[in-house]
Amino acid sequence: MNQWWVAGFSWELDGKPVARKILNRPVVLFRLPSGEVGALEDRCCHKELPLSCGSVEGRGVRCGYHGLLFNREGACIEIPGQDRIPSKARVQSYPVMERDQIVWVWIGEFADAKPSSEPPSYTFHSDPSYQFGGGNYHYDAPYQLIHDNLMDLSHLGYVHLKTIGGNAPVHMNAQTRVSVEGDTVKLVRTMLDSEPPPTYTAAWPFKGLVDRWQEIEFHVSHIRIWTGALDAGEGSLEDPSRGGFHMRGFHGITPETETTTHYFWSVASNLQTDIEKVKQTVIEQSAATFDEDKLIIEAQYRNQREFPVRNQIDIHVDVGPNRVRRVIDRLLKQPQSA
């Protein structure tokens, strides 16, 4: 609780209400003709039809059962055929903000909780040197299994051979550094003199072997992954302004329930030639990798339920995921009112 969570992307709010459950709370998202975005509990206070079954109008969202109209603050402002509007005719509203084409909703411990900060920015969605696209998935698996997957990219050599993978032993033996600062976990992996994977060669004219990097930054509500490569020996992977091919991944991991998750992703790349065609290739191949991850993670969770009493071992690639789990465990043990 008391966090900004990713609820969607700006392009999803196209005139119709959108239903999402966030941390077990049914929410309806909508955009008014003025461009303003609203987030309300997805329930009419009359007969409790989901407001997402209604329609968006100039002043708010109208219930699809008896036509009650609610504004962005959750107040009923019109009851067809009735002049008097009861003071109790209202639903809970949630603080909502768009930033860099990401829609964030603040989920507080109490109904009247106010945000203690603005949602994070993600400038690669507005940086003219990058082209991006994205989408979302619904996972039948707990959110922390997605954290585990994204914080351990050693699996690329086994799961994503046709896209962003590569030589499996190289991935498993990548030089890795992990650091923790507050609630943020950062993991850096480098793979020198390696073969570029198919997605990279489709997007960039590499000469041969490449030096690859993977920089993963965990935040409670999302993970940022900066991956890329440059021709082997043509620059330092410690240089933040290094050249070569870059992929900037945004991964909004929003718990729906204890066992299901919303996964909002985007990939931004610094393309230089045949931009629209190559952009589409990068987006399609990125989506293909997420399809593969979803199959793995959901199968993993199904099997965990088949073996409720079990032992798991840790190996060297689990350092990043384990650090993230410690952060989550600490936050869950903290008194929320603090």
Of 164 and 98, which is predicted with more confidence? 98
**Which pLDDT value is given to residue 112?**
83
Mean pLDDT value across residues 74-87: 97
Pair 133, 38 in one domain: no
Residue 320, token pair as written in the block:
């990043």
CATH code of the domain containing 165 = 3.90.380.10
- Nearest residue to 9 (alpha-carbon basis) of 137, 139, 132, 135: 135
**Is there a domain that residue 35 lies in?**
yes
pLDDT bin (cut points 50, 70, 90) of residue 260 is very high
**Is there a domain that residue 301 lies in?**
yes
Kindly provide the b/e burial profile for residues 160-199, where b requires at least 16 CB atoms within 10 angstroms of the residue's own CB.
Answer: beebbbbeeebbeebebebeeeeeebbbbbbbeebbbbbb
**Is there a domain that residue 117 lies in?**
no
Residues 93, 42 contacting (CB under 8 angstroms): no
pLDDT bin (cut points 50, 70, 90) of residue 110 is confident
Pair 103, 135 in one domain: no
Pair 146, 59 in one domain: no
* Total domains, the chain: 2
Pair 195, 282 in one domain: yes
Has residue 42 got a pLDDT over 50? yes
**Which pLDDT value is given to residue 272?**
84
Pair 178, 261 in one domain: yes
Has residue 321 got a pLDDT over 80? yes
Has residue 171 got a pLDDT over 90? no
Residues 89, 68 contacting (CB under 8 angstroms): yes
Tell me the residue type at 303: N
Mean pLDDT value across residues 311-333: 93
Mean pLDDT value across residues 132-144: 97
CATH code of the domain containing 17 = 2.102.10.10
**Which pLDDT value is given to residue 338?**
45
Pair 211, 91 in one domain: no
Last residue of a domain, one of 107, 142, 165: 107
pLDDT bin (cut points 50, 70, 90) of residue 310 is confident
Pair 280, 163 in one domain: yes
Pair 78, 134 in one domain: no
**Which pLDDT value is given to residue 337?**
55
Mean pLDDT value across residues 60-89: 97
Residues 89, 45 contacting (CB under 8 angstroms): yes
Last residue of a domain, one of 74, 107, 140: 107
**Is there a domain that residue 85 lies in?**
yes
Mean pLDDT value across residues 92-106: 97
Residue 302 to residue 321: CA distance in whole angstroms: 20
The most distant pair of C-alpha atoms in the chain lies apart, rounded to whole Å, by 75
**Which pLDDT value is given to residue 283?**
93
Pair 57, 181 in one domain: no
**Is there a domain that residue 217 lies in?**
yes
Pair 77, 129 in one domain: no
Pair 152, 63 in one domain: no
Last residue of a domain, one of 77, 107, 137: 107
Of 172 and 41, which is predicted with more confidence? 41
In this predicted model, what pLDDT tens digit does every residue of 181-208 receive, in sequence order? 999 999 999 999 999 988 899 899 999 9
**Is there a domain that residue 112 lies in?**
no
Tell me the residue range of the domain where 159 lies: 123-333
Mean pLDDT of all residues belonging to the chain? 94
Residue 35 to residue 54: CA distance in whole angstroms: 18
pTM value? 0.93
Has residue 100 got a pLDDT over 50? yes
